[in-house]
Structure 1
Amino acid sequence: MKILFVAQNFQMGGIQKALINTLKEVSLYKHYEIDVFTFAEGVLMKDIPPNVNVYTGNLLLQLIATPFAEVKKRKNVWHIMLRIFCMIVVRLIGSNNLYAILLKTHSNNRLYDIAISYFNDVPHSYFNQGTNLFVDKFVKANRKFAWIHTDPLKANFNYDVCVITYKNYDRLFCVSEACKQNLMHFLPQYKNKIQVIYNFFPIEEIKELAWQYTAFEKGTMDLLSIGRIENATKRFELILHLCKLLKEASISNFRWRILGNGPDLLQNKRLAFELGVDDVVEFIGVCHNPYPFIRQSDVLILTSAYEGYPMVVGEALILETPVITTSFAAAREQISDGQNGLITSGNVEDLYPVIASVIENADSLQTMKKFIEENQYTNQKAQEQLVWEFDAK
C-alpha cells in the first residue's frame, strides 16, 4: 500500500512531533510504502524513520513554509528579501492563489492508495496553509484523508472555507473524541467522514531519552510548562501572574521552568521582571530533548486556552509526572481528574488555589504518581484506530 503524508515543515512543534511519531508507527508495517512531501525542512527531519522517502519543496515553497524568524536567523539576505516579496504577493493575490501557483509545480503522476494532509490550515494566517490544497488538487490517490489537530470551534475555523476544503476528502481524522464531536457539530454534512485517531508516542524511546542527562538540581517543588511561547492560545503570561499570587501568599518554595520559544518570549521575560517573579521563573528556551525536565519535575502545568490532544500531556504521563491542565475539549480523555492529574478552568482565580495546594501538599502528587505507575500509558487504542481506517477497503 502506497501512502503519502504532506507536511508544512519539520520545525519544532506539536503537530510536527505528532507526525514523526505517526511515521515511526506506520513505518513498522511492512505492507505500507511511505512517502513524505514536506514544503520545508526543519530540526525534526533527522527523526524521520530511514525507510520513509522524503521529498522537499523548491526554494520559494520552503521560504513561505518556514517561520520568518527562522529565515532571518540564517542571515541570508537573498532569502530574507524573497520571503518579504512573498509576504507582499500573498497580500495582493491571497494565500490560496500563491500556494496554488507554487504547488502545481510539485505535482506528479504517481498514484497513491492514501494521501494525507497532516497539517490543518491555521485560521487567519498567511503562510500556515497549503497541505489541504495540495492533497485535494495536486495528488492522485484512491482515498484522501485530512488530519485535524485542534478544536475547530475554539480555533475559529471558517465554516465556508471548511465546507469547500473538505468536500473531496474521504476521512477527516480528529485527535480526540471531544474534537470529533465539535467538528461534527461544526460540519454536520460531513459527520460520516469524521473519525478519531489518537496521537502516537514512542514510549520506550521517550523513557530512554528521559535519562540522557540531568536537567537541573532538584528543588523542593519543581513545576514545568512546555510549548510555543505564544500567549493568545498557550497563555504563558498567566504563569507569571500565578507566580506573583503565590509569592504574595508567602509561597516561594518552588521553581517554575518554561521550555520553548516563540513570538512572546521576550515580552514574557520582561513581564516576569516587572512582576518581580524572575527569581522563581526560569525560561529555558528551545530544548530538543525535554524529557529529562519532564521526568525530574513534580508536575507539568498546561495553561492553554484550547488544545486538540496535546503531545506533552501524553509524554508527562509516560514519564509518570502528574499534570495540572485547563479544561480544553479533550482534557478528560487524557486526565482522570484527581487520579493522574487535576483539571481546572482556564482563569487565574481557579488555577491559583489548585497550584498552591499541590505545592503545599506534595503527598497528593505522590498519590497521583502511584496511580500513573499502576496504569501505564499505551498506544493500543491509536494502533487499532489507524489500522482499521488505513486497511479499510
Structure 2
Amino acid sequence: MKNILIASFDMEVGGVERSLISMLNNFDYANYAVDLMLYRHQGDFLNLVSNKVNLLDEIPQYTTFRKSIGETLKNKQYSIGLSRIFSKINADFLGKIKGLSEPGYYQMQLMWKFALPYLPEVNKQYDVAISYLWPHYFVAEKVKAKKKIAWIHTDFSKVETDIKMDLKMWKKFDYIVAVSEACKTSFLNKYGELENKVIVIENITSPEFIREMANEKVENPLVQDNRFKIVTVARLSHAKGIDNAVKALKILKEKGYDEIAWYVVGYGGDESMIKDLIKESKLENSFILLGKKTNPYPYIKKADLYVQPSRYEGKAVTVGEAQILSKPVMITNYTTANSQVKDGIDGCITELSVEGITTGIERLYKDSGKRKTLINNCKNTDYSNNYELEKLYQIVN
C-alpha cells in the first residue's frame, strides 16, 4: 500500500475545496493510505472529508497562514509574524511601482519565502506528496517524498507573481497537474520550460452527490421569488467579477428589465465594496448577497440562469455543477472559457466586460427557446468523470 500526503490550507467554502472533497470521496483507499495535512482545521467543509482519510494534527506554525498578522504575533509566533509584516511592506511597495492590480499573490510568495526557516519539516517519508493549492512551498521544502505533485486551479497568465522565485519552487515537483487544457496552456505561456512536467486531470465531479444535495431543505428566498432569477456562486473577489455583475444589472434595470433578480452565494474580501456598489446603484432589492453557504446547490436548482462573470478562472467548479443541475449557463470569455462550455450548446460565452454581461443576459432572458435548448443539452450530457482519477494513479505508480 502506498502512502500519500495531500496538503491544503483549510476547508473553508470554495471551489478548490469542493473539488478536493470530491477527489477524497472517490479515492481508492484499498490501495492507498492517505494523510491529509490542513494548515488549519477550519471551514464548513471539514465534516465532508471522507472518514477513510487520516487528518494530521495541526502544526502551530502552519496555522498562521490562515490568521492575521495580529493573531500570529499574539500567538507568540514572532519570527513568522515579522516575516509577514516584511512581505506585506515589500509587496505593497512593488505593487505601487509596477501598478499591480492584485499584489496579494506576490505577497503570498514572499510570506512563504521569508517564513520558511521558521517552519518545521514533516518527519514521515511518503511515496507521494500532493500539494493541492498554490503556493506549494510546504510540500516543495518541508516534506520528504519519492514523488511530488503540485495542482494548479487558476489561470496563471492573469496572476502577478515573481516568476524566478516560482520556478525554483516548481522545479522541486515531478508533476504539475492542471485542472483543464486551457489552464495548462496559460501556465506554460508563463513557465514554458516546465512543459515536460505538466499534465491535465480535471476536477472530479459526482452528479449523484450534487443532485442529492440540491434537494436538501434549506431556507431559500428564491423559492418565493417569482422574478427571473440569476444565480452566481463565487468568492467575492476581483477574479470573480461580481462588481461587473452589479454594474450589468444596473444597466438592465435602466433598460426596463424590472423582473430580473440576481442572487450571489459566497463571501470574500470585496464584500463591503460590493455592498456599497449595490447601494449606490439602488439595487438592494434586486442584487442579493446570500453569504456563505455550505450547500449552494438548492440555490442553483432554483435559478432561471446561472452566470459566471469572472475575470479569470482555471476551471470554475460551479459552472460544471450548474450544468449537472441542467441550468442554462452563461460565462464571460475568460482565457479558459472554451474548456468549460461548448458555446451555444451547453452554455453561452459572452464578452468579458460589463456590456458583454448585459447583452448576454438580455439575449437569454428574451429567448426562452435558447434556454430550453441549453437545458436539454445539459440533461443529455454525462458530466461524471471518476475516470480522471486513473490518471493520478498512473503517475503515482
Helix, strand or coil: the match of 1:375? coil
2:396 to 384, 390, 393: 390
Helix, strand or coil: the match of 2:349? strand
Q: Structure 1 residues 251, 184: closer, same or farther in 2, change over 3 A?
A: same
Q: Structure 1 residues 178, 282: closer, same or farther in 2, change over 3 A?
A: same
- The range that moved more, 154-163 or 30-39, is 154-163
Task: Give the equivalent residue in structure 2 for 1:126.
Answer: none
Task: Give the equivalent residue in structure 1 for 2:97.
Answer: none
Cα distance in 2 for partners of 1:133, 1:221 equals 46
Task: Give the equivalent residue in structure 1 for 2:25.
Answer: 24
Q: Structure 1 residues 102, 58: closer, same or farther in 2, change over 3 A?
A: farther
**Deviation at residue 277 of structure 1 after TM alignment:** 1.6
Task: Give the equivalent residue in structure 2 for 1:107.
Answer: 122
Q: Does 1:229 align with 2:222?
A: no
Task: Give the equivalent residue in structure 2 for 1:366.
Answer: 372
**Deviation at residue 9 of structure 1 after TM alignment:** 1.6
1:351 to 357, 363, 370: 357
Cα distance in 2 for partners of 1:341, 1:252 equals 24
Task: Give the equivalent residue in structure 2 for 1:155.
Answer: 159
Q: Which amino acid aligns with 1:274?
A: E
Q: Does 1:61 align with 2:55?
A: no
CA contact (8 A) 2:205 2:383 kept: no
Alignment root-mean-square deviation, CA: 2.1
Q: Structure 1 residues 304, 21: closer, same or farther in 2, change over 3 A?
A: same
Task: Give the equivalent residue in structure 2 for 1:133.
Answer: 137
Q: Does 1:82 align with 2:75?
A: yes
**Deviation at residue 302 of structure 1 after TM alignment:** 0.8
Q: Does 1:171 align with 2:151?
A: no
**Deviation at residue 98 of structure 1 after TM alignment:** 4.8
- The range that moved more, 170-179 or 261-270, is 261-270
**Deviation at residue 378 of structure 1 after TM alignment:** 1.3
Q: Structure 1 residues 346, 16: closer, same or farther in 2, change over 3 A?
A: same
Q: Structure 1 residues 89, 387: closer, same or farther in 2, change over 3 A?
A: closer
Q: Structure 1 residues 259, 31: closer, same or farther in 2, change over 3 A?
A: same
Q: TM-score, normalised by structure 1?
A: 0.88
Cα distance in 1 for partners of 2:25, 2:337 equals 25
Task: Give the equivalent residue in structure 1 for 2:249.
Answer: 243
Q: Which amino acid aligns with 1:268?
A: I
Helix, strand or coil: the match of 2:75? helix
Q: Structure 1 residues 98, 156: closer, same or farther in 2, change over 3 A?
A: closer
The number of residues matched between the two structures is: 369
List gaps (5 residues or longer) in structure 2. Answer: 88-109
**Deviation at residue 180 of structure 1 after TM alignment:** 1.0
**Deviation at residue 78 of structure 1 after TM alignment:** 6.8
**Deviation at residue 49 of structure 1 after TM alignment:** 0.5
1:237-279 superposed Cα distances (whole Å, 9 cap, x missing partner): 1111111111111111121101111122122122112111222
Task: Give the equivalent residue in structure 1 for 2:272.
Answer: 266
Cα distance in 2 for partners of 1:318, 1:365 equals 15
CA contact (8 A) 2:236 2:267 kept: yes
Helix, strand or coil: the match of 1:153? helix
Q: Structure 1 residues 219, 382: closer, same or farther in 2, change over 3 A?
A: farther
Cα distance in 2 for partners of 1:83, 1:300 equals 46
Cα distance in 2 for partners of 1:14, 1:244 equals 27
Cα distance in 2 for partners of 1:78, 1:329 equals 38
Task: Give the equivalent residue in structure 1 for 2:104.
Answer: none
Cα distance in 2 for partners of 1:140, 1:78 equals 30
Task: Give the equivalent residue in structure 2 for 1:127.
Answer: none
Counterpart mapping for 1:306-321 below 5 A: 306-321=312-327
Q: Structure 1 residues 95, 188: closer, same or farther in 2, change over 3 A?
A: same
Q: TM-score, normalised by structure 2?
A: 0.87
